[in-house]
Amino acid sequence: MDGKAELIETLVARMKAADDALHSGDAGPRKALWSTKEPVTVFGAAMSATGLAETQAIFDWVASRFTGFESGGWEILSADVSGDLAYVVAIEHTTGSIGGGPTESFSLRATTILRREDGQWRAFHRHADPVEGSEPVRDRLLGGAVESAFAAPPGKTPAGGSAQARLLYLTGRRSG
């Protein structure tokens, strides 16, 4: 195995371990994998965020929704390293429970981009969306259909608010 292949294998193993921990209710390894330098972005299967505070809040929220992790597997479609940038494109398969519900399986198409910072590889962008048939699991993660998840009653945070405001609204927390 050459140095590049070994590096990719190491990155993927670290990312997979962080993903498994997230689905077990622990956002710590995911947050540790991520850059603390701007810009950072998440275009997630359930929610999107821009900036460190929003991405960290989303990781905490997602971890809080999972109550039973059984298994996870990744199909690596493409991965490469060039200089101080790396990317991984994968289909991520997960079986677990959301919010104490029944165990179910779902899959995400995900692209993660990483950069080398002070000798460490850190993720700074992730884009994921549900594979066909996995949308109902995403909806349960949000606690309702995506189309209505960001709708707010009069006087509450509107759908057009920031991702952080939407997250605070969904989790019942208030800013300030």
DSSP characters over 43-104: E-SS-EEESHHHHHHHHHHHHHHEEEEEEEEEEEEEEEEETTEEEEEEEEEEEEEETT---E
- Domains in the chain, number: 1
Measured CA to CA, the distance from residue 5 to residue 29 in angstroms comes to 23
- How many other C-beta atoms can be found within 10 angstroms of the C-beta atom of residue 38? 10
Q: Is the pLDDT of residue 155 over 50?
A: no
The whole model's pTM is what?
A: 0.80
pLDDT tens, residue by residue, 7-56: 999 999 999 999 999 999 999 999 999 999 999 999 988 889 999 999 99
CATH number at residue 122: 3.10.450.50
Domain with 94, as residue range(s), is 3-135
Domain contains 66 = yes
Strands 41-43 and 48-50: antiparallel
Amino acid identity of 51? G
The predicted model gives 85-102 an average pLDDT of 93
Domain contains 160 = no
Domain contains 164 = no
Domain contains 44 = yes
Order of strands across the sheet that contains 66-82: 48-50, 41-43, 120-130, 104-117, 85-98, 66-82
Domain contains 155 = no
Domain contains 143 = no
Using CB atoms within 10 A of its CB, is residue 147 exposed (0-12), middle (13-18) or buried (19+)? exposed
Higher per-residue confidence, 59 vs 161: 59
Model pLDDT, residue 45: 87
Contact 103, 96 (CB under 8 A): yes
Domain contains 7 = yes
Domain contains 147 = no
Q: Which two tokens stand for residue 71?
A: 């298994």
pLDDT tens, residue by residue, 110-138: 999 999 999 999 999 999 999 998 888 88
Cα 43 to chain centroid, rounded: 8
Contact 30, 21 (CB under 8 A): yes
Give me the torsion for CA of 147, 149, 150, 156, rounded to 10°. 140
